[in-house]
Amino acid sequence: SQKIEQNSEALNIQEGKTATLTCNYTNYSPAYLQWYRQDPGRGPVFLLLIRENEKEKRKERLKVTFDTTLKQSLFHVTASQPADSATYLCALDSGGYNKLIFGAGTRLAVHP
């Protein structure tokens, strides 16, 4: 069956450290993978997109990698700040036509 898996346990880290979140998928061949941020009571907000032919993408303190052989994406938040605390969702195009399927998300808590 097709699945997208993110670590359901919250990730607690100290301010200034690098947070690494994982997204694994099975039985999909996505043309791209996306990461979103969601704050409590709000809709998700787009952060980054990485295509199947890209290994790494960066945006300010965010870095995403995409390994189509491992069927895995890693999302890094460097020099983390308490304001980075949120739930982070990965999503992929499940079969063309931008039919986006989401993982359950991982909650990141950055402590001062």
- Per CB under 8 A, 81 contacts another protein: no
Binding pattern to another protein, positions 31-70, x when CB under 8 A? -x-x-x----xxxxxx--x---------------------
* Residue 11 interacts with another protein (CB under 8 A): yes or no: no
Closest to another protein by CB, 68 vs 102, is 102
Q: Which two tokens stand for residue 36?
A: 């979103």
Take residue 39 and report the two structure tokens written for it: 């704050």
b/e sequence 84-94, b meaning 16+ C-beta within 10 Å: bbbbbbbbbbb
Min dist CB 111 to another protein, Å, is 23
Q: What are phi and psi of 34, to 5 degrees?
A: -125, 160
Task: Tell me the β-bridge partners of 9.
Answer: none
The token pair at 17 is 């450290």
Query: Residues binding another protein: what is the number (CB under 8 A)?
Result: 24
Using CB under 8 A, pick the residue from 105, 107, 108, 110 that binds another protein.
105
Is residue 28 close enough to count as binding another protein by CB under 8 A?
A: no
Strands 45-51 and 32-38, how do they pair?
Answer: antiparallel
- Residues near another protein (CB under 8 A) are 6, 8, 32, 34, 36, 41-46, 49, 89, 91, 93, 97-105
